[in-house]
Structure 1
Amino acid sequence: MATIDGRPAQYGLTLKQLRELMELRGREGVNKLNGYGGVQEVCKKLYTSPSEGLSGSVADIQHRRDTFGSNMIPPKPPKTFLTLVWEALQDVTLIILEIAALVSLGLSFYHPADEDSEPGTEDDEAKYGWIEGLAILISVIVVVLVTAFNDYSKERQFRGLQNRIEGEHKFSVIRQGEVKQISVSDIVVGDICQIKYGDLLPADGILIQSNDLKVDESSLTGESDHVKKGESFDPMVLSGTHVMEGSGKMLVTAVGVNSQAGIIFTLLGAAVDQQEQEIKKMKKEAKKQRKKKSLSGDETGDITVNSHAVSKQQSVDGENHHTSKSETATSHAENKKEKSVLQAKLTKLAIQIGYAGSTIAVLTVIILVIQFCVTTFYVQNKVWKNTYAGDLVRHLIIGVTVLVVAVPEGLPLAVTLSLAYSVKKMMKDNNLVRHLDACETMGNATAICSDKTGTLTTNRMTVVNSYLCEKLSKSVPSFSEIPSHVGQLLMQAISINSAYTSRIMPSQDPTELPMQVGNKTECALLGFVVALGKSYQTVRDDNPEDTFTRVYTFNSVRKSMSTVIPRQGGGYRLFTKGASEIIMKKCAFIYGRDGNLEKFTRDMQERLVKNVIEPMACDGLRTISIAYRDFVPGKADINQVHIDNEPNWEDEENIVANLTCLGIVGIEDPVRPEVPDAIKKCQKAGITVRMVTGDNVNTARSIALKCGILKPNEDFLILEGKEFNRRIRDSHGEVQQHLLDKVWPKLRVLARSSPTDKYTLVKGIIDSKASANREVVAVTGDGTNDGPALKKADVGFAMGIAGTDVAKEASDIILTDDNFSSIVKAVMWGRNVYDSIAKFLQFQLTVNVVAVIVAFIGACAVQDSPLKAVQMLWVNLIMDTLASLALATEMPTPDLLLRKPYGRTKPLISRTMMKNILGQAIYQLAIIFMLLFVGDKMLDIPSGRGVAAAGGGPTQHFTIIFNTFVMMTLFNEFNARKIHGQRNVFQGIFTNPIFYSIWIGTCLSQVVIIQYGKMAFSTKALTVEQWMWCLFFGIGTLLWGQLVTTIPTRKIPKILSWGRGQPDDIGAINLGDEKFDPDSDKKPRAGQILWIRGLTRLQTQLRVIRAFRSTLEDLEERRSVHSLHSLHSMRSSRSHTGPRPLSDFTYIDEDPANKARNQQHQQSAITTANSANNEAGRGATSPLLLHVPGTGNHHHHLHHHHHHHHHQHHQHQQQQQNNGRQQQQQEDANNAVNSLRSSANNLVLPELPKFVHETCI
């Protein structure tokens, strides 16, 4: 029989048996497990030990992987380079250019016989006619390759980042009897994992031992109640669920694709692929049908019928996954409240430019064609010859080229590049960005709500004061000074009543302090035991965890932790530790001088608070009280309780009462040295820092003063959670926005706050209309309960070291060093993104304006564009693609923190920038038209005007115009580096090697093109003197730039700034492929992170309309799917983000009155549903049902929201209300679709309706 590491290779349970076991819950699960002989027997069958774990040998681990699978869900393969090239080729303008170039190529080889012209010129033309066509094709290919390469590197970078995020996810397992942190993907079946509060479970397993364990299974079942788990009644724990309370040990039984989450994802992936096929088929059908029906005018009916067929088809399969898939993505889309402001503004801007460009392009073509026809047929009275077709094609090419130059496809590229570059660099600054647009939003942040512990402080806690037996010590006393029985009890209380995962490890470097592992407060207490000269480990060895009778784990409501152990000589002993003001109230006795037991009266309590606890807190110390209580079967002492049988441990109120206080310790958590400076920077940058902490008011005030959040003699509010709630709630206990608006502007410290208070505060600040601009709020969090606040905030920061998995999952950025000063760096990078885009805009728009006007006026005045198609494509390439690289990669400077946040309504192009753009455009146009009309006389060269029309080759005259234009553009790139009117445009140039290397590279290429481009680029080599002129005009832009800077910005009318107004008014138009990464939820790996892909290349307005129309079809096709689940979708639309539109899409009316009416309508439809939840800020979501075959009769829901605990009757009440709203909601959806349809059919080019479609279709 084959063996592995001396054990049989055949396991006692098969993969199939384990999978079936994990599909059961509760009683069924326990029975099935007992059928296998209980969890200990299962451990034996899997050759593992509950206490020692696996041996961890390579052969054993590999064999387990081969047998039971590895803990990975394989990602969807990335797009290949060729796919990306194909996608880049889909650009409408490029397609038109390609066709035109091919026609021009074809015509150049076509020689009709009926020509009777001079042979000389004809040969010349025929010889070189094909070059232009080929050159255009080649330049299109270059543009496509550069675009594809940028996309490719972006995708690779994101994958690398995703792998990094997943690699960071470590988990505690026991191997060879030692606790080790291993990467989640290394976990195998048979591993013994330690699970604790805040963990995101990496695999399915069976509990071996647990304390007070509660799990949030909403990600799999959609039930938002926390499920109690225990060995005797429900031992099954599943991957992807969150541990909300307690701790325990589990045996891993299923990993990767065999775990419950894995099974669902595999089904989802398959169903989605099938769905995509279905939809493609349906679209073809719908098109055919529409052609038939458009005659009878009955379009709508048929599409709905078609979609009914599909939805029936899906229901038959029993896998109505489309809804759940979009659900997954929607939940993510909802977290990121709206599309990033910058992208919304850019989209609008690009579309406006596109319109202007296409108008001019069409006019150019019309004028060229009319002029050609008039001169040829009317003035010269010639008859039509087939060669004239080539001339017409050439005119068309010029028009299309104008369009290519006008449409700023470099814009989205610049945003993506700038974000991608920032994200990469931010890693070095300890910011791990999970959602791209968080980076840009951070630049607009106006408020930061920060935790205290670990963010503002070092999170290295030490006991510095202690009060034992009426003796206050400012340093650690010696053990002999403490009465021996009190000392023994204290040592036991600290060692036993703490998570055994918390421990103090000796540091590798003897000069360094020992390492604190686990909960830092517990480590401080354990450190106190060590400082007393005792060993906590020996106490723990005498009392292993599996002997505990009951554990009441720490949570934000209890603010204490208690452990019950069997007492020597019978009975039980309860140890408790917690916040001193809470424990004090539960104490009835205290050890006084010399360890004598005394009654703990109210007076003593007040004295103790005044003389001991408050002074400690005012020094910024956290005070922790330690107490105990004995339950004895025999004769009870005064502080003991007599029991006949086992007490009812569920009755926590009476169990944890009448305690005996052992002592109070003051724990110091020093402020991080770099924090006061970071907070000062924030305040200078116009960002308000507020501290939200669970500690008491005095501790919080002391730390806030040390950090600089509070300044002496300033009139700011410091509130406790209770007082805060009293001020912001009305008589019914509802949070009222107007009351909140009175509190938050002055609030600086919120102490003794619960996670709900934090959420209420964040939501209140975001929803507030009290300030002129909407506040943009960043929040830091580390606990499981911070999830809702992190999701609600504009940017959520989770702690990389102390943070729980739940918090990381809800966040946008992970602070890998838990340090507040890293947030300041994030602000700097965010502002830098905004500035990089502004620099690029300033540069690009100048080129756009100049190139388009030159082509247009040239066409009118000279019957020929001074800049040829190939030349314009080259300019387009350098200005779009290369300049976006050069300008988007500037490093941030500390100066960025000296100005206030831009605010959401600030125009995209400020008056200073418009001044620079128009100033430079005037200079460049003046030079180019001067060269065009009088340059030949000035420079004493033959004129190039009209030469090309007469069939001549390239001239020096037009080459000089082209060269001067490029030189001016290149030197203007320096001017573009400064957007706030600074004088020194070269400042910091050597910090950016990308900039100067691209600049030098472009210059060299230009020299080659001019000197050797000949027919391909329509250039003729220039002399040194002519080059000097071109350079002189180029350098002139720098001098002119200084002149423009001198003009005071105040004199410029406000109307010239562009892109102002609320971003909500800017209908963020989604351009077809600018969605969430559609694959992102098909690759749910360990981290399950949905990557938002940056805007892909923005295309011409033709693309917008196509996206608009196809989105509409999608909505119609899916309408019936919604009707099946309208009730559920309504319930899931009520997420934490407050009232949401009832249908799957939002449309924004041009008319503000309509908009208000719609909002009111939606509001009223939702208010009632919300009123069921009286607990502020707690939403109960219950996502769409997903029937998964082969998972017993359980409904699995797929939903990625963070759920709050709520009560059954709320659900019941809500259910009734929702039933009443079902029809209403269906009608709403239908009306919305119809109004969308009509607006799509009445679509006129220049007035595009503002349209936002959910990012997850």
Structure 2
Amino acid sequence: MHYDQEKGSVFEALGSSEAGLSFEEAEKRLLEFGNNELEEEEQISVMKLFLVQFKSILILILIAAALVSAVLGELVDAVVIMFTVFLAGVLGFFQEYRAEKAIELLKSLTAPEALVIRDGHDQKIPSRTLVPGDLILLQAGDRIPADARLVEAFNLRVDEAALTGESLPVLKNTGALPLETPEVDRTNMVYTGTAVTYGRGKALVTATGMSTAFGSLAKLLGTIERSRTPLQESLDRFGRWIGAATLVVVSFVAVLGILSGFPLFDMFLWGVALAVAAIPEALPAVVAVGLGLGVRRMVKRNALVRKLPSVETLGATNVICSDKTGTLTQNKMTVERVYVNGQKLKVTGSGYEPSGEFFGGGGSAPVSGDEPHLRRLLLAGALCNDADLVKNEGSWEIKGDPTEAALVVAAAKVGLRKGELEKKYPRVEEIPFSSESKRMTTLNSTPNSVSNFTSDSVSRSTPYLTSNSVSNSVSTSTSIPNSNEATSISSDSSSGAGESGRLVAYSKGAPEVILDSCTKTFFEGVERPLTPELRQEILDIVGDMGDQALRVIAVAYRGLEEEIPLEEVESEMVFVGLMGMRDPPREEAKAAIRTCASAGIKTVMITGDHKVTASAVARELGIFSEGDLALTGTELDRIEDNEFEDMVEQVLVYARVYPTHKLRVVEAFKKKGYVVAMTGDGVNDAPALKAADMGIAMGITGTDVSKEAASMILTDDNFASIVSAVEEGRNIFKNIKNFITYGLTTHLGEVLIVLAAVLGWQILPLIAVQILWINLITDGLPPMALSVEPPDRGLMRQKPRNVEEGLITRREITAGVGIGVLIAVQALLVLIWALESGFSLEKLQTLIFTLLVLSEMFNAFNWRSDRYSVFALGLFTNKPLIYAIGITLILQLLVIYTPVLQTAFRTVPLSLAEWGVILPLASTTLISMELMKFLRSRRYK
């Protein structure tokens, strides 16, 4: 990448020059290296994507059952089963239609045109025709068209947040760097897809297309297989279990029947009936609809899920790997601490809203915005500044560097508006910030003064500077006014510019640099000598602020009356104070992390920021504590995979990392058996988002690439919304598990009564169409209503579920089998009563048919919660369930009393006396389950 070479060597290595490549050479290289474009991976066809929806074991069993029904002439059964299967497939297809677009979006982020020097002339060319060795020109607002080595950089700052996660624009330079410099710290390189926010420069293209950093991400994304969700695995296991159990039961009945002398064809028909009874043909559609309803609820809680099966994955998540900037923090630099006039002040307010107060005395004593020392510090910070604060549609936004913007906002909190200040104290010249000087200085006129000092008196040796920028190369003949005498300044004067003289120099920058230029300090209204003791005291305060992860800016001034050379302006200055700022953590994120901890979820910070800053923020958020480890990307590179897997559970902060590091962390946790969620917003997060069990992208600040690679998108970019999503995910799985267990009781009861009737009395108690009807209406509306059941109290105090347990645990199997056996016993009692009463076969089948429907309606109340009584929850708190049961009962009455449906379902009307027998009998389903819950609650008290 040539970052470790001097500029001259880079030109030689790339076969280029200050005049750029010739057109002929560029054409040759284009043939050799190819277009500067990202390759598209082979896209899955729409038809293939649709067919993939029918791969699960349960779906295949249902298709086989439909084919058998069609062969046997049961066309109604076959049509209904296939319609259910088709509905489930369509729902899944539409959810996943836009799932694999990450590479196309990576491609769209590249710049369409580039300003390049060829044959010594500047010209714009399509960025896809750039080749290694091209000399490109970069200016503020440009998107970098290819990876390149800088050969000129004038105050060049590049926003690399989308690639590296760095929260602030990176100041670039041209000096050679050590070979071991990590990619995120290569300040003499620029990368495809990042953007120039300030300054200008020239760079030699070192890589294009798939060889760029973006290209590496594209390759990485293409090689990552999205893992199946725990729900998909659980449904497949459940389907295999159902399939095996069905085969065993059908075979058992068929063999017994044949040995008992029944005709082979009759036994085959009974076997098909049992298969229909055992297979929950409505389950795929009900699960899909249940997940879909969960998706709708999650949208209201600021979480948008892109793949239905991913909805419940959050419920099993036990590790969340989160980006810092904008996710755990506000992504808004804010001044939080001030040191002025020997006092340490706290500043309230957050973000870019210009409201807040200053407090001293440990944060309890308010400080007036008219306090002269504070006012002078804030005024200097606002004038020596290129950022601005604007109000746009009711919200405050910044223009320019976030660090400078923080100073502008702090000044606005005491009524010092930058626009008004610049009119009152116009800037006449400046010495811009550079990586070498680590400071910026402006020269401003004081009110009622007239200065003939113009920017023309400053040497301009480079052609691309704007009117507000000057080169660090200045003429020694330039003179400006100066005053070296100590001055006592009243509070009245300090409410304005604060210094006597026709011009004032304001300077801000690194504390050690500013202090080295100061000979005095402004203290108690007087400019006093800056003693070594006071200098050390200030440096100690700088260190304290740094330990709190604050970015510290020092501010100084100098009143000018006599003419002096411009390069001497930044000397003999007066120290005013310090301002400590940072990107503050979201308050709601702190509460969210505490909730995650109580829910058994480990939170890990993965960021591109520096280790000290990341650790301090993590400590404040409650992620990091004594004994936990923090690693940088460079340190991680030195650790072998097996060693890292042993220590990954102790590392809670990763700093200065790159995409491969994030991916490695996610994969290490997955190998340890964790269900991993990864949050992120940048292109750099995309590989890890795709590899994680649950990739969570930011909806506001997130790139399109990260959104397409993720399984879920937070529409408010708030980590706290993840907690809501986790709770919703847990509740969704709880509801799915409950309505599957509810359905299990139905099918088990049907199988047992059919088995008992066939073996004991050689009677088929239900015909196939009745069995299918029971399955459709009891597995249809009630489970959908159960899927909107609100979370149980204490749900977020439970540990994450073990994904190895599957959908149905021993506890659910015990309860489900018990209720299923009870339903079968109810039906058996009705069978015996009907036979003893001499009822016709149609009457007997109608009674059992209706009993099973009624029993399942009572059973639906049981599975609102597997822990709490329906009466404790409130009988009518789930109104959709009341409606579902009401509609189901009305449909059942129509089947029994409508002539057309009587013919289709072979039913006969029931008398009030017969209803009086089956209704109380069916109610025992609810009564017995309530008794079980009561006894369990007493045992755990």
Farther off after superposition, 959-968 or 470-479? 470-479
Which among 976, 993, 1007 is matched to residue 863 of structure 2?
976
Distance in 1, Cα, partners of 2:235 & 2:477: 68
Q: 1:432 maps to which residue?
A: 304
Q: 1:684 maps to which residue?
A: 598
Q: 2:390 maps to which residue?
A: 505
Classify 1:87/1:813 alpha carbon distance in 2 versus 1 (closer, same or farther; 3 Å): closer
Q: Which amino acid aligns with 2:867?
A: H
Q: 1:871 maps to which residue?
A: 770
Distance in 1, Cα, partners of 2:410 & 2:744: 66
Q: 2:908 maps to which residue?
A: 1020
SS of match in other structure, 1:566: coil
Q: Deviations over 1:1177-1213 (max 9, x none)?
A: xxxxxxxxxxxxxxxxxxxxxxxxxxxxxxxxxxxxx
Asked whether the 8 Å contact 2:66–2:77 carries over to 1, the reply is no
Residue correspondence of structure 1 range 290-329 to structure 2 within 5 A? none
SS of match in other structure, 2:721: helix
Q: 1:1184 maps to which residue?
A: none
Asked whether the 8 Å contact 1:453–1:459 carries over to 2, the reply is yes
Q: Which amino acid aligns with 2:418?
A: K
Residue correspondence of structure 1 range 87-106 to structure 2 within 5 A? 104=72
Which among 1038, 1041, 1046 is matched to residue 926 of structure 2?
1038
Verify: 1:331 aligned to 2:224, yes or no. Answer: yes
Residue correspondence of structure 1 range 803-882 to structure 2 within 5 A? 803=702, 808=707, 811-882=710-781
Q: 1:717 maps to which residue?
A: 626
Residue correspondence of structure 1 range 121-140 to structure 2 within 5 A? 133=73, 136-140=74-78
Classify 1:428/1:102 alpha carbon distance in 2 versus 1 (closer, same or farther; 3 Å): closer
Which among 516, 521, 528 is matched to residue 593 of structure 1?
521
Q: Which amino acid aligns with 2:407?
A: L
Q: Deviations over 1:274-331 (max 9, x none)?
A: xxxxxxxxxxxxxxxxxxxxxxxxxxxxxxxxxxxxxxxxxxxxxxxxxx99986541
SS of match in other structure, 2:268: helix
Q: Deviations over 1:94-143 (max 9, x none)?
A: 56555655555xxxxxxxxxxxxxxxxxxxxxxxxxxxx4xx31232233
Q: TM-score, normalised by structure 1?
A: 0.50
Q: 1:145 maps to which residue?
A: 83
More helix by share: 1
Q: TM-score, normalised by structure 2?
A: 0.65
Classify 1:73/1:919 alpha carbon distance in 2 versus 1 (closer, same or farther; 3 Å): closer
Q: Alignment length, in residue pairs?
A: 783
Distance in 1, Cα, partners of 2:416 & 2:318: 47
Q: 2:889 maps to which residue?
A: 1003
1:777 Cα shift? 4.5
1:394 Cα shift? 5.2
Distance in 2, Cα, partners of 1:691 & 1:249: 34
Residue correspondence of structure 1 range 55-70 to structure 2 within 5 A? none
Asked whether the 8 Å contact 2:102–2:709 carries over to 1, the reply is no
1:662 Cα shift? 7.8
1:166 Cα shift? 11
Classify 1:591/1:1019 alpha carbon distance in 2 versus 1 (closer, same or farther; 3 Å): farther
Q: 2:245 maps to which residue?
A: 356
Where do 5+ consecutive residues of structure 1 fail to align? Answer: 1-24, 39-71, 105-132, 175-186, 219-223, 251-258, 262-323, 374-390, 496-501, 555-562, 641-658, 711-715, 945-954, 1053-1257
Which among 389, 396, 405 is matched to residue 514 of structure 1?
396
Distance in 2, Cα, partners of 1:807 & 1:534: 37
Q: Deviations over 1:890-916 (max 9, x none)?
A: 343554223222233446433432332
Where do 5+ consecutive residues of structure 2 fail to align? Answer: 1-12, 27-39, 113-125, 129-136, 165-180, 202-207, 211-216, 346-357, 359-366, 439-467, 479-504, 558-563
Q: Which amino acid aligns with 2:657?
A: P
User: What root-mean-square deviation, in Å, do the aligned CA atoms of Structure 1 and Structure 2 show?
Assistant: 6.5
Q: 1:922 maps to which residue?
A: 821
Q: Which amino acid aligns with 2:905?
A: F
SS of match in other structure, 2:871: coil
Distance in 1, Cα, partners of 2:685 & 2:220: 22
1:401 Cα shift? 3.0
Verify: 1:607 aligned to 2:512, yes or no. Answer: no
Distance in 1, Cα, partners of 2:910 & 2:477: 100
1:791 Cα shift? 5.9
Q: Which amino acid aligns with 1:932?
A: L
Distance in 1, Cα, partners of 2:49 & 2:703: 38
Asked whether the 8 Å contact 1:459–1:520 carries over to 2, the reply is no
Distance in 2, Cα, partners of 1:729 & 1:158: 36
Which among 542, 554, 579 is matched to residue 665 of structure 1?
579
Asked whether the 8 Å contact 2:411–2:417 carries over to 1, the reply is yes
Q: 1:625 maps to which residue?
A: 553
Asked whether the 8 Å contact 2:58–2:239 carries over to 1, the reply is no
Q: Which amino acid aligns with 2:768?
A: A
SS of match in other structure, 2:418: coil
Asked whether the 8 Å contact 1:471–1:593 carries over to 2, the reply is no
Distance in 1, Cα, partners of 2:538 & 2:237: 65
1:551 Cα shift? 7.5
Classify 1:203/1:149 alpha carbon distance in 2 versus 1 (closer, same or farther; 3 Å): farther
Which among 208, 231, 253 is matched to residue 342 of structure 1?
231
1:399 Cα shift? 1.5
1:671 Cα shift? 5.7
Distance in 1, Cα, partners of 2:89 & 2:801: 29
Distance in 2, Cα, partners of 1:34 & 1:572: 42
Which among 274, 281, 289 is matched to residue 417 of structure 1?
289
Q: Deviations over 1:1043-1079 (max 9, x none)?
A: 3334549999xxxxxxxxxxxxxxxxxxxxxxxxxxx
Asked whether the 8 Å contact 1:212–1:552 carries over to 2, the reply is no
Q: 1:1126 maps to which residue?
A: none
Residue correspondence of structure 1 range 455-466 to structure 2 within 5 A? 455-466=327-338
Which among 839, 842, 858 is matched to residue 942 of structure 1?
839
Q: Which amino acid aligns with 2:194?
A: V
Asked whether the 8 Å contact 1:720–1:753 carries over to 2, the reply is no
Q: Deviations over 1:434-466 (max 9, x none)?
A: 455553232123344556654455555543543
Q: 1:566 maps to which residue?
A: 471
Residue correspondence of structure 1 range 686-701 to structure 2 within 5 A? 686-689=600-603, 694=609
SS of match in other structure, 1:885: helix
Residue correspondence of structure 1 range 215-254 to structure 2 within 5 A? 242-243=193-194
1:429 Cα shift? 1.0
Classify 1:429/1:188 alpha carbon distance in 2 versus 1 (closer, same or farther; 3 Å): farther
1:426 Cα shift? 1.4
Distance in 1, Cα, partners of 2:470 & 2:616: 38
1:1029 Cα shift? 2.3
SS of match in other structure, 2:720: helix
Residue correspondence of structure 1 range 1047-1062 to structure 2 within 5 A? 1047-1048=935-936
Classify 1:225/1:667 alpha carbon distance in 2 versus 1 (closer, same or farther; 3 Å): closer
Q: Which amino acid aligns with 2:832?
A: F
1:673 Cα shift? 5.2
1:689 Cα shift? 4.7
Q: Report % sequence identity.
A: 25
Q: 1:525 maps to which residue?
A: 407
Distance in 1, Cα, partners of 2:673 & 2:406: 42
SS of match in other structure, 1:432: strand
Asked whether the 8 Å contact 2:679–2:696 carries over to 1, the reply is yes
1:357 Cα shift? 0.6
Asked whether the 8 Å contact 2:312–2:730 carries over to 1, the reply is yes
Q: Which has the higher contact order (CA 8 A, sep 6+)?
A: 1
Q: 1:1096 maps to which residue?
A: none
Verify: 1:494 aligned to 2:385, yes or no. Answer: yes
Q: 1:445 maps to which residue?
A: 317
Distance in 1, Cα, partners of 2:531 & 2:337: 21
